[in-house]
Amino acid sequence: MTIIQHQMSGNHCFGCSPDNPHGHHIESRWDGQVATCTFQPQTWHCAGSPNFVYGGLIASVIDCHSICTAIAEAYQREGRAIGTGDGILYVTGHLDIRYLAAAPIAGPLVLAARVTEAGARKSLVSCDLHVGETLCAQAEVVAVKVPASWGDA
């Protein structure tokens, strides 16, 4: 299965760049319809309780995984392999998360994201986050398409 982040170049993202030494290094596996990601929280990723995962970390991994899902789906819609030809880039316009159950720090966090609607300028992505059988968070993300040069100073 394709690891989306391994197909990209010039990605410095805290959440998902393989090259950011301080980042989370999430890997999103794309099967053409759904992208999945497994993230193992560390003890220092805890919330007020040491037993549960900090909500901001959950938002971070959902954010990155969902945007990468939008990018992968957009390449697919254009009939291109991820990272080939002119770069396709999306950024987070809106992130709506419902925290449904506390996520045990033992993890792992298992994410599944899919594009539910795709337009010329934006895609809607739905992302579920489970620990074991428990649905801990559910998110709707608006991914907005930007020029590949978006991040240039």
Ligand X SMILES: CCCCCCCC(=O)SCCNC(=O)CCNC(=O)[C@H](O)C(C)(C)COP(=O)(O)OP(=O)(O)OC[C@H]1O[C@@H](n2cnc3c(N)ncnc32)[C@H](O)[C@@H]1OP(=O)(O)O
Q: Helix, strand or coil for residue 55?
A: helix
Largest CA distance in the chain: 47
Q: How far is 59 from 98, CA to CA, in rounded Å?
A: 10
Q: Which is nearer to ligand X, 16 or 103 (CB)?
A: 16
Q: Give one DSSP letter per residue of 93-116, joined into a string.
A: EEEEEEE-SPPBTT--EEEEEEEE
Q: How far is 68 from 66, CA to CA, in rounded Å?
A: 5
Tokens for 61?
């991994």
Q: Which residue is nearest to ligand X (CB)?
A: 93
Residues within the interface to ligand X (CB under 6 A): 8, 11, 13, 16, 63-64, 67-68, 89, 91-94, 119, 121-122, 142, 144, 146
CB of 43 to ligand X, least distance (A): 25
Q: Which is nearer to ligand X, 67 or 109 (CB)?
A: 67
CB of 126 to ligand X, least distance (A): 15
Q: Which is nearer to ligand X, 36 or 92 (CB)?
A: 92
CB of 136 to ligand X, least distance (A): 21
Q: Which residue carries 């789906």 as its tokens?
A: 73
CB of 30 to ligand X, least distance (A): 13
